[in-house]
Amino acid sequence: MDELLQDAAGSLVVTRDGGIVTIRMHRPDKHNAISFAMWSAFGRLMPVLAADDDVDVVVLRGTPGGPFSAGADISEFTTLRSDPEGARRYSQAVAAGEQAIITFPKPTVALVEGFAIGGGTQVAVACDLRVCDPTARFGVTPAKLGIVYALGSTARLVETVGAAWARWILLTGDLLDAEQALRVGLVHEVVPDVEERGYALARTLADRARISLTGGKVLIERAFAGRLDEDAEVQDMYASSWNSAEYAEGVAAFLAKRSPDFAAARRRDTYEGP
C-alpha cells in the first residue's frame, strides 16, 4: 500500500488509526477542488485499501473545519477538457474515481464540513454514510457549466434522494443547506461536532461483522437495481456467512451476553498455523 499512499499524498492525504483510514482532500489554495489527478488517484487507491485486510472503514473528508470540496477544478477545463476527446478522457477518470469509492467493499463515511459543491457532493454521495455540520452546503451544478451530468452519477443521486429531488438539484443547480440536505436524504445526520460523530460512526462500523457489511453492501446495490433473485452468488454469500468465524463469534457473544470481537474471529478464520 505504501507506494500508492505516497502517490496520492499531497492533494490526497492518507492517514491511518487502527482499522480506520482517512482520505483527506488537501488543496487549500483551491478550496480542495478535485483535479484530474485526484480522481485518478481515487481510482488507484481504493482497490489497494480494499485488498488490505487490516482496513475496516474509510473516512473521506476535506479540510478540518471546511471546506469539504468546492468541486471540480474548473481551471483544468480549458486544457484537459478543451476538446471532445479530452473531455471524454476526463470524464472517464471521474467515473473511475467515483466508481472506486462506490464499489469499495467496506464501509465509507463522508465527513462534511462547509461547502461540498459539484464533485464534492459527488464524492460524498459515492460514500455509504454521510454526516455533516450545520455549515455544510451541497449542490450539483453542471447546469451552470453546460455539462450533462454522467448517467452513473445521476443514478447514484436518484438512489440517494429520489427522482423528485434529483430533478430539483440537477435542474436548478441551487445549493442545499445542511437542514435541507437532511430533509431530502442527502445526508444521514447534521451534528455540531461532526468530526467526533464521524469517527464514532467509523468505530461502530469497524466493530461490526465485516462479512455482514460487505454482503449487505452488495445486496443493497442488487436490490436497488431490481435484481431480487437469490441466485448462486447470493446463496454463496449466505453460505459464507453461516460458515464464518464471525458468525460463530456473534452467536457465542449473544448467548454469553458480551460484546462480540469480530476482529479476533477474522484472525482465527485466516490463521493457517498448526
Same domain? For 183 and 236 the reply is no
Please give the single-letter amino acid code of residue 94. V
Considering only CA atoms, which of 129, 127, 104 is closest in space to residue 204?
129
The pLDDT tens digits along the chain (274 residues) read 555 555 555 699 999 999 999 999 999 999 999 999 999 999 999 999 999 999 999 999 999 999 999 988 888 877 776 678 878 888 899 999 999 999 999 999 999 999 999 999 999 999 999 999 999 999 999 999 899 999 999 999 999 999 999 999 999 999 999 999 999 999 999 999 999 999 999 999 999 999 999 999 999 999 999 999 999 999 999 999 999 999 999 999 999 999 999 999 998 876 444 3
Is the omega angle on the peptide bond into residue 107 within 30 degrees of 0, that is, cis?
A: no
Q: What is the DSSP letter of 226?
A: T
Which CATH number characterizes residue 165's domain?
3.90.226.10
**How far is residue 34's CA from residue 75's CA, in Å, rounded to a whole number?**
11
Same domain? For 168 and 245 the reply is no
Same domain? For 222 and 104 the reply is no
Q: What is the DSSP letter of 135?
A: T
Among 153, 176, 206, the domain-final residue is 206
Question: Residue 104 has what pLDDT?
Answer: 98
Q: β-strands 115-117, 176-177: how paired?
A: unpaired
**How far is residue 134's CA from residue 45's CA, in Å, rounded to a whole number?**
30
Burial 222-258 (b: 16+ CB within 10 A, else e): beeeeeeeeeeebeebeeebeebbbbebbeeeeeeee
Same domain? For 113 and 233 the reply is no
Which CATH number characterizes residue 230's domain?
1.10.12.10
Among 163, 185, 206, the domain-final residue is 206
Same domain? For 245 and 197 the reply is no
Residue range(s) defining the domain that contains residue 241 = 209-270
Question: Residue 91 has what pLDDT?
Answer: 87
Same domain? For 167 and 214 the reply is no
Same domain? For 34 and 154 the reply is yes
What pTM does this model have?
0.92
**How far is residue 32's CA from residue 12's CA, in Å, rounded to a whole number?**
10
Q: How many CB atoms are closer than 10 A to CB 200?
A: 12
Same domain? For 158 and 46 the reply is yes
**How far is residue 156's CA from residue 101's CA, in Å, rounded to a whole number?**
12
Please give the single-letter amino acid code of residue 24. R
Would you say 40 and 7 are in contact if contact means Cβ atoms under 8 Å apart? no
Same domain? For 257 and 180 the reply is no
Same domain? For 179 and 216 the reply is no
Same domain? For 253 and 172 the reply is no
**Max Cα–Cα distance, the chain, nearest Å:** 65
Tally the domains of the chain. Answer: 2
Considering only CA atoms, which of 15, 17, 19 is closest in space to residue 267?
19
Same domain? For 253 and 179 the reply is no
